[in-house]
C-alpha cells in the first residue's frame, strides 16, 4: 500500500503513460555510457576499494569488505586437524549446492566418479533459485552464437576471456536442450518454438524463460535429478579450508557442521568450487537480491590455497531492486519486467532512458537520476524511480503480467500493490559478482585439481554480465567442471594431505603487518539487532 505522497507521485506517471508507452527512448552512445559509468557506477568509487597486500593478487584492488576476508584469519588451526583419518573419501568433492554444483555433480556422476556435494545450507539455497528472468541461447533463425558472443563481449566491456566466452555461447543451445531433456519447462508456443525476449544489451531476442521462476524451475529440476541419482549431499556443512596434498594439488576440504560445529575432513582426488557470489557482503552498504549464504566463501578458500582471482573489483548492481515497501527492500525485480515493456520513469513522469541498456549503464543512470539530477522519488528508505508495470498490460494485453511474471505480481501483491494497475519503485541492488577465480577452458584454477564453476568464476563475462548469461554459465561451466574433474580424478594419485598453505598464509599475513581479527570465510551474514 502506497503512502499519500507516493500516490500523488503516481498521478504524474499515469498522466504521462500514454505518451511514454509510445516513446522509443534513444539508446546512449558509447561515449555517453562511459562517462555515465565513470561518474555514477559504484565500481568507480575510489574510497570503497582496498589494495591487497598478500596472496596471488597482491597489489590489486578489490572491495574493502572482500579484502578483509581474502586476507583474513583461518577458522582452523592446522595443528588441530586430523588429516590422517578423513571422514569422507571421494573422487570429486563439490563445494556448493546451487545450479553449478548440481550440474557438475550430475556430469561427474555420469562419468562414473564417486561424487559428494557439501553445502552450508540446503541444496538449492542458491542464487540460481532466485534467478527470475531467463537464460540466453542463440537458437533462433535470425541469431547465431557469433552475435551472442558480440553482445556479451561488448556488454562486458571487451574484457571477457575469449576462450571462456566461446564455450559459453557455443554450448548454450545444448545447455537448453540438456535442461529440457531433464524436464525443465520452458515457455513455448504451441508449435514448440521457444518464447524468447530481449534482455538489456542483447541484439536478438534470445532470453528463454520459465515464467519468472526460470532459475527456480531449473534449480528444483537439477535438485530432483541429484536426488534421483542418489548422489550424497551433506547439507548444513560448510567448507572452511581447502586441503592440498604434498604436490600442491587440491585434495579435499576441512568441513564445519553449521549446527553442531563439528569439524570433519573430506579427502578427494579433485575439488570443484561452486560456492556462488557475494551479495551478502553488502558492498558499499547496498541491499542485495542474493540468497542468505552469498558471502564469497569460495574465493577466500581458493585465494588462501594460491589461486589467482580475475576482475574481483567488479560487481553488478541490478538496476531494479525493489525500493518499496521496506519489507522487500533490495529484492530482485526481474529485468523481464522491462523486456515485456515497462519503462523507467522519474519523478516528473519522464521516461529518462532506454529501458534495455546493459545493467551497469541502467544502474548508473538510475543513481544519476536519484542524485545529481534530483529527479528521484522520495521514499521512506531514500530515493527511487518508478518502473511503470501497467505498460506491460497495455503493450501485451490484459493478463500478460499474471502469465509471464507471476512471482512479481505475488511479491508486490502481498503488500497490496497490484502491479497490473500501479507502478513500482526501484533502485539498484547488489546482484552479481562479475569477477572471481581465474580458470582455463577446462574450468581448472591455478591450483592443480581445483576446478571452479558458476558465479565463483571470474572472466566469463568480463566487467559486466548480461541478463540470462548467468543461468547459462552455471549450466555450461557446471557441466564442464563436472566432466573435467571426473576425468582428472581417474588419473590422479593423491599424496599426503596437508594444510601447510594455511600456516604459510598466516605467516604471510603477519609478515605484511596484518593484525586485524577478521575470520574468514564468513559463511553467513549477521543480521541480529546491534544493541
Nearer to other proteins by Cβ, of 196 and 492: the residue is 196
For residue 140, the minimal CB distance to other proteins (Å) is: 6
> How is 256-278 classified by DSSP, letter by letter?
EETTT--EEEEEEEEEEE-----
- The window from 48-56, 411-419, 432-440, 463-471 that contacts other proteins (CB under 8 A) reads 411-419
Catalytic residue flag (residue 441): no
For residue 167, the minimal CB distance to other proteins (Å) is: 11
DSSP H helices, 196-325, are: 214-228, 297-304
Of 521, 76, 498, 91, the closest CA to residue 303 belongs to 521
Q: Which of 258, 264, 487, 512 binds other proteins (CB under 8 A)?
A: 258
Q: Which of 5, 77, 246, 326 binds other proteins (CB under 8 A)?
A: 326
- In the set 208, 318, 404, 461, the catalytic residue is 318
The reply to whether 225 sits near other proteins by the rule CB under 8 A is yes
- Residue 80 CB neighbours (<10 A): 8
Q: What is the footprint of other proteins within residues 57-96 (CB under 8 A)?
A: none
- The window from 61-69, 201-209, 370-378, 470-478 that contacts other proteins (CB under 8 A) reads 201-209
Give the C-alpha separation, 211 to 232, whole Å. Answer: 31
Contact between 119 and 219 under an 8 Å Cβ cutoff? The reply is no
Q: What is the footprint of other proteins within residues 277-296 (CB under 8 A)?
A: 289, 291-292
Give the C-alpha separation, 396 to 415, whole Å. Answer: 25
Binding mask 172-191 for other proteins (x = CB under 8 A): -xx-xx--xxxxxxx-x-xx
Query: How many residues at the interface with other proteins, by CB under 8 A?
Result: 86
For residue 238, the minimal CB distance to other proteins (Å) is: 10
- Residue 173 CB neighbours (<10 A): 18
Of 133, 162, 132, 161, the closest CA to residue 146 belongs to 162
- The window from 67-75, 334-342, 406-414, 509-517 that contacts other proteins (CB under 8 A) reads 406-414
- In the set 267, 280, 304, 338, the catalytic residue is 338
Binding mask 449-488 for other proteins (x = CB under 8 A): ----------------------------------------
Contact between 148 and 263 under an 8 Å Cβ cutoff? The reply is no
- The window from 2-10, 200-208, 247-255, 299-307 that contacts other proteins (CB under 8 A) reads 200-208
Buried b / exposed e over 274-303, threshold 16 CB at 10 Å, is bbbbbbbbebbebbbbbbebbbbbbbbbbb
Contact between 294 and 118 under an 8 Å Cβ cutoff? The reply is no
Of 231, 246, 241, the closest CA to residue 109 belongs to 231
Q: Which of 14, 89, 224, 508 binds other proteins (CB under 8 A)?
A: 224
Cell numbers representing residue 28 in the block: 546512449
Strands (E), 359-449: 377-379, 382-387, 424-433, 436-438
Q: Which of 50, 263, 394, 407 binds other proteins (CB under 8 A)?
A: 407
Cell numbers representing residue 358 in the block: 546493459
Q: What is the footprint of other proteins within residues 131-160 (CB under 8 A)?
A: 137-142, 144-147, 149-151, 153-154, 158
The reply to whether 360 sits near other proteins by the rule CB under 8 A is no
The reply to whether 4 sits near other proteins by the rule CB under 8 A is no
The reply to whether 253 sits near other proteins by the rule CB under 8 A is no
For residue 118, the minimal CB distance to other proteins (Å) is: 15
Cell numbers representing residue 149 in the block: 558472443
Catalytic residue flag (residue 41): no
Q: Which residues belong to the active site? A: 318, 338
Amino acid at each position: 500500500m502506497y503512502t499519500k505522497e507516493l500516490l500523488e507521485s503516481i498521478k504524474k506517471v499515469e498522466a504521462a503513460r500514454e505518451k511514454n508507452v509510445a516513446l522509443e527512448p534513444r539508446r546512449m552512445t558509447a561515449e555517453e555510457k562511459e562517462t555515465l559509468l565513470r561518474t555514477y557506477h559504484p565500481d568507480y568509487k575510489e574510497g570503497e576499494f582496498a589494495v591487497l597486500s598478500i596472496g596471488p593478487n597482491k597489489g590489486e584492488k578489490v572491495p574493502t569488505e572482500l579484502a578483509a576476508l581474502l586476507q583474513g584469519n583461518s577458522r582452523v588451526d592446522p595443528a588441530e586437524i586430523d588429516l590422517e583419518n578423513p571422514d569422507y573419501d571421494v573422487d570429486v568433492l563439490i563445494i556448493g549446492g546451487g545450479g553449478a554444483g548440481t550440474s557438475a555433480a550430475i556430469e561427474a556422476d555420469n562419468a562414473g566418479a564417486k561424487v559428494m556435494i557439501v553445502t552450508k545450507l540446503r541444496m538449492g539455497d542458491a542464487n540460481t533459485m532466485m534467478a527470475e528472468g531467463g537464460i540466453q541461447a542463440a537458437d533462433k533463425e535470425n541469431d547465431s552464437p557469433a552475435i551472442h558472443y558480440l553482445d556479451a563481449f561488448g556488454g562486458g566491456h571487451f574484457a571477457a576471456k575469449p576462450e571462456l566466452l566461446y564455450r559459453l555461447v557455443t554450448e548454450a543451445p545444448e545447455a537448453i536442450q540438456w535442461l529440457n531433456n531433464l524436464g525443465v519447462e520452458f515457455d513455448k508456443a504451441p508449435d514448440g518454438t521457444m518464447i524468447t525476449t530481449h534482455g538489456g544489451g542483447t541484439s536478438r531476442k534470445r532470453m528463454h524463460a520459465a515464467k519468472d521462476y526460470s532459475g527456480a524451475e531449473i534449480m528444483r529440476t537439477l535438485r530432483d535429478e541429484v536426488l534421483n541419482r542418489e548422489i550424497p549431499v551433506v547439507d548444513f556443512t560448510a567448507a572452511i579450508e581447502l586441503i592440498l596434498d604434498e604436490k600442491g594439488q587440491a585434495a579435499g576440504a576441512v568441513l564445519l557442521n553449521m549446527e553442531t560445529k563439528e569439524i570433519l575432513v573430506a579427502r578427494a582426488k579433485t575439488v570443484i568450487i561452486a560456492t556462488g557470489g557475494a551479495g551478502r557482503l553488502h558492498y558499499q552498504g547496498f541491499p542485495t537480491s542474493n540468497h542468505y549464504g552469498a558471502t564469497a566463501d569460495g574465493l577466500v578458500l581458493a585465494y588462501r590455497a594460491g589461486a589467482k582471482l580475475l576482475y574481483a573489483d567488479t560487481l553488478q548492481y541490478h538496476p531494479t531492486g525493489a525500493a518499496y515497501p521496506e519489507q522487500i527492500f533490495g529484492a530482485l525485480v526481474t529485468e523481464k519486467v522491462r523486456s515485456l515493456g515497462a519503462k523507467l520513469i522519474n519523478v516528473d513522469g519522464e521516461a529518462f532512458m532506454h529501458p534495455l541498456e546493459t545493467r551497469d549503464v541502467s544502474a548508473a543512470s538510475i543513481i544519476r537520476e536519484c542524485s545529481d539530477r534530483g529527479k528521484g522519488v522520495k521514499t521512506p528508505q531514500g530515493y527511487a524511480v518508478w518502473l511503470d508495470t501497467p505498460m506491460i498490460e497495455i503493450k501485451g494485453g490484459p493478463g500478460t503480467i499474471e502469465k509471464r511474471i507471476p512471482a512479481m505480481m505475488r511479491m508486490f501483491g502481498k503488500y497490496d500493490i497490484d502491479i497490473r494497475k500501479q507502478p513500482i519503485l526501484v533502485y539498484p541492488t547488489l546482484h552479481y559478482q562479475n569477477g572471481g577465480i581465474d580458470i582455463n577452458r577446462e574450468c581448472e584454477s591455478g591450483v592443480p585439481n581445483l576446478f571452479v564453476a558458476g558465479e565463483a568464476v571470474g572472466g566469463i563475462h568480463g566487467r559486466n554480465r548480461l541478463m540470462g548469461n548467468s543461468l547459462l554459465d552455471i549450466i555450461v561451466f557446471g557441466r564442464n567442471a563436472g566432466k573435467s574433474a571426473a576425468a582428472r580424478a581417474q588419473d590422479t594419485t593423491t599424496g599426503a594431505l596437508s594444510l601447510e598453505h594455511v600456516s604459510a598464509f598466516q605467516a604471510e599475513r603477519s609478515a605484511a603487518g596484518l593484525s586485524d581479527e577478521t575470520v574468514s570465510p564468513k559463511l553467513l551474514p549477521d543480521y541480529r539487532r546491534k544493541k
